[in-house]
Structure 1
Amino acid sequence: MTDAEWAAVRPLLPVPAWLRGRGGQPEGYCHRAMLDAIRYLVDNGIKWRAMPVDFPP
């Protein structure tokens, strides 16, 4: 995902509760990395188990 695409998508994602002072734990994975993994899956039409190891589980 390019920086321009990320700049367009980022405001549409919800703000985590822990960033708003409501408690909770930080996410284990970056939103951008998860979106990249989903886009890779959709673009290549592969199974989840065939994802490259550099994407989040």
Structure 2
Amino acid sequence: MPKTKRGRVLWNLPSRGRGTCPVCAATRIKLLYPRTKTDGTAVKVCKRCAAAPQPRVDAANG
């Protein structure tokens, strides 16, 4: 049977969970992965940048 709730949580997020990634500057991409900068602030990044090295995340302007 199909799973009816798959992806349903995205509909409750602003802009359906999409935006501009602060690390790679990709536009209209899903920002679902939280990363923490060394100063303690959390930023949401795209799937490609979820595995980005920490210096790239720290240099992000988001």
Same fold (TM over 0.5): no
TM-score by structure 2 length?
A: 0.26
TM-score by length of 1: 0.27
Could you say which structure has the higher helix fraction?
1
